[in-house]
């Protein structure tokens, strides 16, 4: 199975996904910057939810057209057009359908047992990431690693993974709570 | 925590300023710190996770958005600072000016190293409001208004939430953890 076929099996085979995640960020010297955890969900095409629970509640939600970035401590939500905000982020990678291989070149990065590792490099010059590594097990993501422009990395391990379940649409919408400041950059 | 009124018996103010002096000498004696938290510009839509290491006047600051997007690092001392990021790799004697121009972040870097500990910068005038435990509610310095909240237990206790406002720009720093003492990774120049 070529890297493109492995990726296609994921893009076509996994229509919805729910999982818990734990995330560690390390800097370009390998020093741990922070760690966090939470839960995520996606539904193709374009719907995505990434909810940090620890150390602090933060939420990234998109319904495919608008993306909300909500920070509970800051009592602030910024809204941006999904297409612009999704460039090369897990949201784009996980929830887009056909545009994936248009925005990333895919290369084989080996495999460990049943887990297949792919390396995706953004084709455009202005991506926020140098590369994205995606570990797939039977077409389902179990780990992702984002290499940022300074050479640091955001390493995400998934657990309690459920694919192709029925997901409620409200999971991918965001109601602005009372008293929260809105920075609306979604109108062009 | 009431702001400090001149107490009728005179002991209140004396006790408070003694607590403040003790806090100031304890913190002033520190040779550095390592801080982890989140920084955001209210109203600006800018926000990111922050790691700040300080050893004497040398510092290393790293700021990045979700999944490391927009990662930015600043390293140096009061004289020269190297700034690195996407399409950004330069050394400058005016990091605050470059940072604001290239990223939109307005950060009083020179003074912030004291403000994150709840201390005014040493060689500039500041009007202080203290609470009953000798901790600053806030102060005005170098054209910035500082407000402190979410004090964390410890001796001395340190602020968990710091707002710094200049005109209509308001930065908010939420400190997840802060350990005092110069981080070894930074001490060797």
SS3 per-residue string spanning B114-144:
HHCCCCCCCCCCCEEEECCCCCEEEEEECCE
Per-chain mean pLDDT for chain A: 89
Q: Does B84 contact A at CB distance below 8 Å?
A: yes
More confidently predicted of B2 and B90: B90
Backbone phi and psi for residue B132, each to the nearest 5 degrees, phi listed first? -65, -20
**B59 Cβ contact partners less than 8 Å away, ≥ 6 residues apart:** B52, B53, B74, B75, B76, B77, B109, B113, B186
Question: What is the helix (H) or strand (E) element at residue A137, kind and residue range?
Answer: strand A129-137
Q: What is the ipTM of this complex?
A: 0.86
Q: Chain A, 5-24: which have a CB under 8 Å from a chain B CB?
A: none
Dist CA A19 CA B89 (whole Å): 38
Whole-number pLDDT of residue B8: 42
A148: closest CA of chain B, how far (Å)? 5
Please state whether the predicted TM-score (pTM) of the whole model is above 0.90: no
Strand duo B32-42 + B46-55: pairing: antiparallel
- A1-29 pLDDT tens trace: 899 888 888 888 999 999 999 999 999 99
Q: How far apart are CA B175 and CA B163, in angstroms?
A: 11
Q: What is the mean pLDDT of residues B170-187?
A: 89
Chain A, nearest residue to B53 by Cα: A33
How far separated are the first and last CA of chain B, in Å rounded? 42
Residues of chain A with pLDDT under 70: 86-88, 90-91, 97-99, 188
Asked if B92 has any chain A CB less than 8 Å from its own CB, the reply is no
Put simply, the answer to whether A149 touches B65 (Cβ < 8 Å) is no
Q: Does A131 touch chain B (CB under 8 A)?
A: no
Strand arrangement, sheet containing B136-141? B88-92, B81-85, B72-76, B58-64, B46-55, B32-42, B169-180, B158-166, B144-152, B136-141, B127-130
A25 in B contact zone (CB under 8 Å) = yes
Predicted local distance difference test score (pLDDT) of residue B1: 31
B38/B52 Cα distance (integer angstroms):
11
Contact A39, A150 (CB under 8 A): no
């Amino acid at each position: 199975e070529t890297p493109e076929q492995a990726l296609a099996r994921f893009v076509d085979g996994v229509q919805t996904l729910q999982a818990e995640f734990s995330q560690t960020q390390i800097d370009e010297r390998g020093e741990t910057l922070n760690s966090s955890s939470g839960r995520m969900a996606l539904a193709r095409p374009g719907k995505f939810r990434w909810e940090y629970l620890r150390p602090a509640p933060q939420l990234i939600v998109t319904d495919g057209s608008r993306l909300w970035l909500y920070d509970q401590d800051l009592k602030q939500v910024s809204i941006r057009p999904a297409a612009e905000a999704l460039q090369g982020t897990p949201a784009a990678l996980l929830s887009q359908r056909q545009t994936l291989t248009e925005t990333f070149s895919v290369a084989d990065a080996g495999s460990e047992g049943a887990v297949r590792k792919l390396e995706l490099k953004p084709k455009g010059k202005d991506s926020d990431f140098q590369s994205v590594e995606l570990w797939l097990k039977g077409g389902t993501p179990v780990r992702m690693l984002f290499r940022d422009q300074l050479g640091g990395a955001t390493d995400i391990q998934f657990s309690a993974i459920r694919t192709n379940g029925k997901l409620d649409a409200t999971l991918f919408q965001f109601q602005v709570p009372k008293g929260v400041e809105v920075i609306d950059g979604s109108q062009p | 925590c009431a702001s400090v009124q001149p107490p009728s018996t005179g002991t209140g103010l004396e006790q408070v300023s003694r607590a403040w002096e003790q806090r100031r000498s304890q913190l002033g004696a520190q040779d550095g710190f390592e801080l982890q938290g989140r920084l955001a510009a209210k109203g600006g839509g800018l926000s990111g996770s922050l790691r700040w290491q300080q050893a004497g006047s040398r510092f290393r600051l790293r700021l990045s958005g979700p999944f490391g997007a927009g990662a930015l690092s600043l390293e140096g001392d009061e004289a020269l600072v190297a700034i690195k990021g996407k399409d950004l790799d330069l050394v400058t004697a005016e990091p605050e000016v470059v940072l604001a121009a290239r990223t939109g972040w307005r950060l009083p870097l020179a003074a912030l190293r004291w403000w994150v500990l709840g201390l005014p910068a040493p060689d500039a005038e500041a009007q202080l409001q203290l609470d009953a435990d000798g901790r600053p509610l806030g102060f005005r310095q170098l054209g910035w208004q500082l407000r402190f909240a979410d004090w964390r237990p410890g001796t001395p206790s340190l602020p968990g939430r710091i707002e710094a406002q200049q005109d209509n720009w308001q930065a908010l720093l939420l400190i997840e953890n802060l350990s005092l003492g110069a981080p070894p990774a930074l001490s060797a120049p």
